[in-house]
């Protein structure tokens, strides 16, 4: 038995990657789960692997299921395909496509083969051995907060509250004007002429 170390890059930024360790006797469903765990994605969407080469051309698929689309060759199935059977080259490449709508794409490269004698068999495989860079957010900030945010949003009606801030500010401004009017009314008791000027000022300029 051997342990295979793969480096999984996010296609859009090769500085963001995860190293994962998989037994060669495990299947591609195990690889699927560990990649999603490594990048903190859920497991709700369709997915497929492609055999690939050094120039990242897509070859035969190793798919989660047989989907309604055209295939150049019938796909292998993740559950039925052992990782070791697909290792043809010492730096074997695969492409992992997750969520066909958003097309999250990850580039996978075999970087090390650890022989049985050197492998730590006390560990539970597959596992993530290295994390580099901040991975992409599958759903964005709101998606990460999930139901909790939705509950808060519904309870406090955040959209309405946002509009309310503007209204509150306007009320505050009017309140200040009202206070000024009260002050001027007090002054008006001292002189009718000043009161007349203040009234003319507010009628013309304050609104």
Least confident interval from 35-39, 68-72, 114-118, 180-184: 180-184
Least confident interval from 7-21, 63-77, 85-99, 152-166: 152-166
With cut-offs at 50, 70 and 90, classify the pLDDT of residue 6: very high
**How many CB atoms sit inside 10 A of residue 110's CB?**
19
pLDDT of residue 203: 46
Residue written as token pair 């559950």: 79
pLDDT of residue 207: 30
Asked if 110 and 5 count as a contact pair (C-beta separation under 8 A), the reply is yes
Residue length, the chain? 207
pLDDT greater at residue 197 or residue 92: 92
Quote the longest CA-to-CA distance of the chain.
103
pLDDT of residue 161: 45
Q: What are 201-206's contacts with CB under 8 Å, separation 24+?
A: 202/177, 206/177
Average pLDDT, the chain: 80
pLDDT above 70 for 174: no
Distance CA 49, CA 98 (A): 9
pLDDT above 70 for 115: yes
Distance CA 120, CA 25 (A): 15
With cut-offs at 50, 70 and 90, classify the pLDDT of residue 204: very low
Distance CA 159, CA 128 (A): 40
With cut-offs at 50, 70 and 90, classify the pLDDT of residue 143: very low
Q: What is the pTM of this model?
A: 0.68
The number of angstroms, rounded, from the C-alpha of 165 to the middle of its chain's C-alpha atoms is 30
């Amino acid at each position: 038995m051997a342990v295979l170390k793969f480096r999984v890059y996010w296609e859009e930024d090769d500085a963001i990657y995860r190293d994962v360790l998989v037994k060669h006797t495990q299947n591609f469903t195990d690889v699927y789960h560990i990649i999603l765990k490594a990048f903190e994605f859920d497991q709700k969407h369709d997915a497929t692997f492609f055999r690939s080469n050094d120039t990242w051309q897509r070859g035969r698929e190793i798919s989660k299921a047989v989907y309604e689309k055209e295939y150049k060759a019938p796909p292998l199935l993740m559950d039925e395909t052992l990782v070791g059977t697909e290792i043809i080259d010492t730096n074997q490449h695969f492409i992992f496509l997750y969520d066909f709508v958003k097309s999250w794409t990850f580039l996978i490269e075999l970087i090390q083969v650890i022989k049985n004698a050197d492998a730590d068999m006390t560990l539970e495989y597959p596992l993530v051995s290295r994390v580099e860079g901040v991975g992409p957010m599958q759903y964005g900030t709101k998606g990460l907060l999930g139901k909790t945010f939705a509950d808060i949003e519904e309870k406090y009606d955040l959209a309405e509250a946002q509009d309310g801030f503007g209204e509150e500010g306007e009320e505050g401004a009017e309140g200040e004007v009202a206070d000024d009017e009260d002050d001027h009314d007090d002054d008006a008791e001292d002189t009718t002429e000043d009161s007349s000027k203040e009234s003319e000022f507010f009628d013309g300029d304050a609104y």
